[in-house]
Structure 1
């Protein structure tokens, strides 16, 4: 079994999104959370915690996206939340994962989208003071006049909305809007 240890130096919300395969997350209370494609874990974690992430497959590689969003120590109580989503709901639009969460108390909003070539989308920021980070998982996009390929990221601020266009088929993008108190 392959394992990566994620060291969380500051209190954070940790999000784990499997891209291929399954990833097992061993939470601070020793609970093992098994995540498959079509799920994301949002986990509040205190500072100075190590999270083991394991690949349950002997001979297969997995890939996953990990996003850490710093928060204050008081916000890290409770367990992680697994949010399942239907991949069809991502077709040619940005789908807000927060819309299917049990709580809207997060100081950030995560959206995913899978686009056919030449399809466009707009994302109005919830707060004009927010910072938005976009990460291309697969394919290519033009985002606010900038060309982004797979594994490229871009941060934007002081903008009321973003416009994106997929430049390839099956292009996948993740956006994270950090509300103004996170800047």
Structure 2
């Protein structure tokens, strides 16, 4: 088993006034040669955007992009013709493929929006760009993991799909709840990030926004150490 601990306090940080952003992996002006990616997982950004502010139109290509609002409302517009608002409890996926442009704005003038923006390297390049979003009950549906994203060829996937053998799960747990998570594919690793509360994973104590990357394993055991503790698990190929 190989583990890498990513303490919340060790993340890259950029405060632009309108945007307060934390980077688990190297991004923009934050660069750490030891924190480029975890397997196919390239970016995990924890962004807080002030009311009425946002990211102007910008391009992406050949990346699977997943956005998860934690509170507030995020307005999305793209070159495929979509204009949508993503709210807490919803998840958005976008396959950039051959190339897209999009913008992301806080749709509320009077309160911030906090969301995770996550990038995963695809298993094939230059696919046709696509967009999807869906609501999931991972807040009220407690004490179990809710799968929100899976690969396109997984017939058992009830979540959104991406072009990669990666599975995303979120769960909200009461104190002392234990969960055994079995990795979906041999050769994958799991990136576990505490969204809220505290967890112990395979004997390691994690606090809010701490993360643990684990590879060369078949399963992990996690225990919620506080009530309403929420965790995000990203099961991704280590070689891609």
TM-score range, shorter chain: 0.7 to 0.9
Corresponding pairs, count: 181
Number of the residue aligned with 2:190: 132
Once the two structures are TM-superposed, the CA of residue 52 in structure 1 deviates from its matched residue by 1.9
Task: Give CA deviations for 1:25-51 in whole Å, capped at 9, x if unaligned.
Answer: 223324222111111011101377553
Once the two structures are TM-superposed, the CA of residue 179 in structure 1 deviates from its matched residue by 3.3
Partner Cα separation in structure 1 for residue 120 and residue 56 of structure 2: 17
Equivalent residue in structure 1 for 2:92, among 26, 41, 66: 41
Asked if the contact 1:44–1:79 (Cα under 8 Å) also holds between the matched residues in 2, the reply is yes
Task: Give CA deviations for 1:71-103 in whole Å, capped at 9, x if unaligned.
Answer: 2323x4242121221236641111112432365
Number of the residue aligned with 1:121: 179
Once the two structures are TM-superposed, the CA of residue 9 in structure 1 deviates from its matched residue by 5.9
**Structure 2 alignment gaps of length 5 or more:** 1-51, 151-156
Asked if the contact 2:64–2:162 (Cα under 8 Å) also holds between the matched residues in 1, the reply is no
Partner Cα separation in structure 1 for residue 89 and residue 214 of structure 2: 27
Listed as ranges, the matches of 1:24-173 within 5 Å are 24-46=75-97, 50-71=101-122, 72-74=124-126, 76-87=127-138, 90-97=141-148, 98=150, 99-101=157-159, 106-173=164-231
**Structure 1 alignment gaps of length 5 or more:** none
Structure 1 pair 49/80, CA: closer, same or farther in 2 (3 Å)?
A: closer
Partner Cα separation in structure 2 for residue 166 and residue 172 of structure 1: 8
The 10-residue stretch of structure 1 (16-25 or 95-104) with the greater mean CA deviation from structure 2? 95-104
Once the two structures are TM-superposed, the CA of residue 66 in structure 1 deviates from its matched residue by 1.1
Corresponding position: 1:12 with 2:63 = yes
Partner Cα separation in structure 2 for residue 146 and residue 59 of structure 1: 39
State TM-score, norm by structure 2.
Answer: 0.68
Structure 1 pair 105/47, CA: closer, same or farther in 2 (3 Å)?
A: closer
> Which one has a larger percent helix, Structure 1 or Structure 2?
1
Task: Give CA deviations for 1:124-174 in whole Å, capped at 9, x if unaligned.
Answer: 001131011111110011112111111111111111011100111111101
